[in-house]
Structure 1
Amino acid sequence: MRTLLKNAREEKGIKTRELAQLLGIDQALISKFESGSRKPTKEQVAKLAQVLDLDYETLMVAWLKERILYEIGTDELALKAMILAEEQIKYNVSFVRKSISKNLQNILNEIDALKTKLNQFRQFDSFRIAQALELEYTFESNRIEGNTLTLRETDLVINEGLTISGKSMREHLEAINHVEAITYIKQLMERNFPLNERELLSVHNLILRGIIPEDAGRYRRVQVMIKGSSHMPPQPYIVAKEMEDYFIWYEENKSKMHPVILAAEMHERLVTIHPFIDGNGRTSRLIMNLILLQNGYVIANIKGDYETRMNYYKTLETAQTSNNKEDFLLFIAQVEKECLERYINIIEQ
């Protein structure tokens, strides 16, 4: 792999300093990659393939080979272990492919092509673009839950600190809290913190802070019903066990599934458990978007208009009551695709 990188860089006439700037890393790391003394991350491999016009699959296979050899070395049992690992990988790949429809796979392919394109424009990202899109996300996510602040009013509350006449204190707090929760999940992503129960409860605490303080960051202790849905969430005494299983499932599947599918699954599974007295939808969408951001995608902003909201609820209820998640996964994938397209269009302009 190190030869591939060095030859490709020299053929394109790019200096190590220039390549480091394009990747947003220290120049010394490029030299270490090329000497073999340091291995790039998976994300860095993807960026290197784009910048150096290398075939992604070829580079990734070389990277994986070196990782495997580094881990197992020359242990005499390594070959037996590799044979067993090959069988398991084949099984996992086969299982994942069977569980994804052709339509869904096509959208995932389009999403990944858009993500690759977006990575080429990352240097043009700006705080103002992110701020504007996050404002829209706060507006739409709260709108889904019945908040009546307009986009402009949401902006005035968050960025100007104004109070909107005729709007409740709760609606003001929902806007402020949601922005703080976005900031929090971005910090988790940037610091590479793992998704676990503590972080999820912290997100929920931010969502309900000052609104229902006694229940903020705590699992519900009463039975609840979901308005307009036939799905009945589990009894409160088994919520803790359901959440334990939720994170076990995440750990078992986070490296096996496409990130968009993983994010959608974590959203659906959390809102189905409905572990909180309030704020389940907002928290579920934030967890979904944390996973997307961790994997280099953009925030999937589900709109709060009537048609989109009804489609969202319908596909979600189908997943909850008939054990058929296809429509919901397609819905989330389509939202992510549209958000990627919009993000790229903004940056290109």
Structure 2
Amino acid sequence: MKTILKNAREQKGFKTREVAQLLEIDQALISKFESGSRKPTREQIVKLAALLEIDFESLLIIWLKEKIIHEIGHEELALKALHLAEIEIQNNKKIITSVILSSLQNILDEIEVLKNKTQSFQQFELHRISKILELQFTYESNRINGNSLTLQETKAVINEGLTIAGKTMREHLEAVNQHEAISYIKDLTQKNSSINEKELLTIHSLILRSIKPDHAGKYKNDPLIAREMNSLFSWFETNKNSLHPIILASEVHLKFITISPFESGNMQIAHLLMNWILLQNGFVFATIQGDQEHKNEYLTILKKSQDQNDNAVFINYVAQVEKENLQHAIQLVSQ
């Protein structure tokens, strides 16, 4: 690691004192990191990777490797111990996933029955339901972010291009932009396109078009953001075929909100990402209602899940929301 850090610094043209000033780390420590006489902390690894443009995951793996060698490398039975540790880590991961699934299993079974019922509808019924649910998702998603258009006003703006008296231009644009972002995601779903950075930035650009054009389709000016987002995309690709879609969608929502890569629109994009995954797997929109009571419930559960580092709290919440929306879709057929 010492060679990687030194080479990266020299390639960037930085002196050790400049790195120290930029990262607010003592210059003597930077020199010790490069000589190998001192190991950075995890927090310092994050900062060094971002500043020196080193792949964060690769640097972290090397850091962990050296930490393990420092602790037990001299032990005669180190390799056997590492093998047992690897098995235990893998088992713990399986146990955590199993516990989450076990607590969710009843509602997931109920959701599967409801999902199969919606998929048995005639094509014209599915099309009608889809249009209604898309409109409601647009309305509620904007309402949760402070848009004052009513459901009927949102419908008039989107379908008829009307201008509603007393409403701001931004509110009109939010309705149109959200509708177009949903249409774009539906098109990606039909093409079976996977989540990736290019499409994410396009969706964000659609959401902020003509509202905040300087921020549209751009991450915050922070090199660490791009690395964290790359890790999110990698995590998604690794887990998309092994996790239940509701767990997968909920986890992506949580990870994205934690990163919050954009100056504006993070909550909207988190909801769109989550629902993109659900739509890809045959589910309906998990629409969170935008009135103050439901908004407070969503924010409270989100915070609780983050504070307690317990994803199951939020996953259970999303499962319940999806179940209610599937029930709503079924009710629409009888209307």
Q: Same fold (TM over 0.5)?
A: yes
Q: How far, CA to CA, are the matches of 2:279 and 2:315 in structure 1?
A: 18
Is 1:298 aligned with 2:284? yes
Further displaced range: 124-133 or 322-331: 124-133
1:111–1:340 contact (8 Å) kept in structure 2: yes
Deviation readout 1:141-189 (Å, 9 max, x if unpaired): 0011111111111111111111112211111100000000000000000
Could you tell me which amino acid in structure 1 is paired with residue 161 of structure 2? G
| Coordinate RMSD, CA, aligned | 2.0
Could you tell me which amino acid in structure 1 is paired with residue 274 of structure 2? M
1:96–1:257 contact (8 Å) kept in structure 2: no
Match of 1:195 in 2: 195
Q: How far, CA to CA, are the matches of 1:97 and 1:265 in structure 2?
A: 12
1:177–1:208 contact (8 Å) kept in structure 2: yes
Is 1:136 aligned with 2:147? no
1:250 aligns with one of 236, 241, 257: 236
Q: How far, CA to CA, are the matches of 1:182 and 1:118 in structure 2?
A: 20
Match of 1:330 in 2: 316
Match of 2:29 in 1: none
Further displaced range: 91-100 or 121-130: 91-100
Match of 1:219 in 2: 219
SS of residue in 2 equivalent to 1:211: coil
2:295 aligns with one of 300, 304, 309: 309
1:318–1:325 contact (8 Å) kept in structure 2: no
Q: How far, CA to CA, are the matches of 1:91 and 1:242 in structure 2?
A: 26
Match of 2:259 in 1: 273
Distance 1:122-1:275 versus aligned 2 partners, 3 A rule: farther
Match of 2:149 in 1: 149
1:148–1:171 contact (8 Å) kept in structure 2: yes
Q: Name structure 2 gaps, 5 residues minimum.
A: 1-86
Q: TM-score normalized by structure 2?
A: 0.70
Could you tell me which amino acid in structure 2 is paired with residue 175 of structure 1? A
Seq. identity, %? 50
Give the deviation of 1:98 after TM superposition: 2.5
Is 1:182 aligned with 2:168? no
Give the deviation of 1:328 after TM superposition: 1.1
Q: TM-score normalized by structure 1?
A: 0.67
2:246 aligns with one of 254, 257, 260: 260
Match of 1:25 in 2: none
Deviation readout 1:88-141 (Å, 9 max, x if unpaired): xx9699446424164422111111121122222253534333222211110100
Deviation readout 1:277-317 (Å, 9 max, x if unpaired): 11111111111111101101111111011111111001111
1:92–1:256 contact (8 Å) kept in structure 2: no
Could you tell me which amino acid in structure 1 is paired with residue 120 of structure 2? Q
Q: How far, CA to CA, are the matches of 1:163 and 1:123 in structure 2?
A: 33
Further displaced range: 238-247 or 109-118: 109-118
Aligned residues: 247
Distance 1:319-1:97 versus aligned 2 partners, 3 A rule: closer
